[in-house]
């Protein structure tokens, strides 16, 4: 087959002239172009915001969840949730490599990989949904998918089980960006510190802030707050809802003696937490939104409305070395590895 655009625009059906991610519909024909890679898909890891929405719409019933997922893919050619705008990622085995890529990439047929690009831009065809693991946002399937020439991926490590690696790689951008942002002595506020990405961020934040820094973790439920305390990476564990902006501000103002946070990292999958994040952060501080539920409008206009001068970072799921940084957390922390094996493996 002919060579396609390295970014995958040749797969866009509508609207023409856009890239695959913002496109409404893409071509999921599983005959690859000369610069594409075909994957036999084993498991889909649906992003938290998307799966939460799907489960709610489906009444948490497996049959209805499967039906909704198939509807999305059949309509759009990719798993791109029309409500949340997000996707997830996948684990599978390399089935075929386009002739233009042979010898130019570090993959061979049979390699097990996790894609590090969103399902919201990945051509996908699902033949059967085999098992839905609602508690960890994973769905086992018989399916095929395509990676474009510009797509990024990680070979699955030998020392970490597949499902465990998938769970971590799905949120690899969060701990990696935390490692880049946090400096010794920083006060770091992590919203959703008892969740999957929040736990990884807490570990990296404590590691980077050091003994002179302070890490504050917020959980919403009793269970997540207890998890924060039990892990011990946060110097202060608090319970509350970041959707209650004034309450969040008062708590952080109190535990920091009015200083507020140098860096706030938002890892929750619910809307309306923008102002809680912004108000908890000091002027000239940084807010990192690693949440697909974030509204740019609410964040930008909200900060302006209270006269808060903070740097706001959209949670790019990619940063150099993010896969290795995230997997290394499991290798370095026995506590997190044990907990993740119980929850995700």
Least confident of 134-148, 162-176, 243-257, 299-313: 162-176
- What pLDDT is recorded for position 104? 87
Q: What is the helix (H) or strand (E) element at residue 53, kind and residue range?
A: helix 48-57
Nearest in space to 29 (alpha carbons), one of 95, 124, 161: 124
Question: What would the two tokens of residue 271 be?
Answer: 């809307």
Residue range 76-100: mean pLDDT, rounded: 95
Asked if residue 292 has pLDDT above 90, the reply is: no
Fold of 173-344: Rossmann fold (3.40.50)
Asked if residue 318 has pLDDT above 80, the reply is: no
CA separation for the pair 324, 124 (Å, rounded) = 26
Residues whose CB falls within 8 Å of the CB of residue 59, separated by 6 or more in sequence, listed in order: none
Residues whose CB falls within 8 Å of the CB of residue 158, separated by 6 or more in sequence, listed in order: none
Residue range 228-250: mean pLDDT, rounded: 96
Over residues 2-24, the pLDDT tens digits come to 899 999 999 999 999 999 999 99
Nearest in space to 265 (alpha carbons), one of 192, 204, 203, 336: 192
Sort 103 into a burial class: Cβ within 10 Å, 0-12 / 13-18 / 19+. Answer: exposed
Over residues 28-71, the pLDDT tens digits come to 999 999 999 999 999 999 988 899 999 999 999 999 999 999 99
Instruction: Give start-end residues of each CATH 3.40.50.720 domain in the chain.
Output: 173-344
Q: What is the pTM of this model?
A: 0.82
- Between helix 222-231 and helix 196-209 the angle, nearest 10°, is 30
């Amino acid at each position: 087959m002919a060579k396609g655009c390295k970014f995958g625009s040749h797969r866009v059906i509508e609207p023409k002239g856009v890239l695959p991610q913002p496109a409404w519909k893409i071509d999921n024909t599983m005959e690859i172009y000369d610069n594409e890679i075909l994957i036999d898909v084993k498991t889909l890891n649906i992003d938290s915001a998307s799966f939460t929405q799907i489960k709610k719409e489906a009444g948490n019933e497996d049959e209805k969840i499967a039906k909704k997922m198939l509807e999305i893919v059949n309509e759009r050619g990719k798993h791109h949730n029309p409500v949340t705008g997000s996707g997830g990622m996948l684990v599978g085995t390399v089935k075929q490599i386009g002739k233009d890529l042979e010898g130019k990439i570090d993959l061979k047929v049979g390699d097990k990989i996790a894609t590090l690009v969103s399902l919201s831009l990945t051509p996908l065809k699902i033949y059967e949904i085999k098992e839905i693991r609602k508690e960890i946002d994973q769905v086992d399937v018989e399916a095929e998918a395509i990676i474009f020439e510009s797509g990024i991926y990680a070979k699955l490590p030998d020392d970490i089980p597949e499902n465990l690696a998938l769970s971590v790689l799905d949120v690899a951008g969060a701990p990696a960006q935390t490692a880049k942002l946090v400096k010794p002595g920083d006060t770091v506020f992590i919203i959703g510190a008892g969740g999957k990405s929040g736990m990884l961020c807490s570990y990296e934040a404590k590691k980077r802030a050091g003994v002179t820094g302070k890490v504050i973790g917020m959980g919403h439920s009793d269970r997540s707050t207890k998890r924060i305390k039990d892990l011990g990476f946060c110097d202060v564990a608090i319970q509350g809802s970041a959707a209650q902006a004034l309450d969040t501000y008062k708590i952080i103002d109190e535990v920091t003696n009015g200083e507020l946070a140098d860096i706030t990292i938002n890892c929750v999958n619910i809307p309306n937490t923008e102002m809680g994040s912004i108000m908890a952060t000091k002027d000239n501080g940084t807010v990192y939104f690693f949440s697909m539920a974030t509204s740019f409008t609410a964040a930008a206009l909200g900060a302006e409305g209270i006269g808060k001068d903070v740097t706001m970072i959209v949670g790019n799921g990619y940063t150099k070395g993010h896969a290795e940084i995230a997997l290394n957390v499991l290798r370095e922390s026995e506590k997190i590895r044990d907990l993740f094996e119980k929850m995700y493996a």
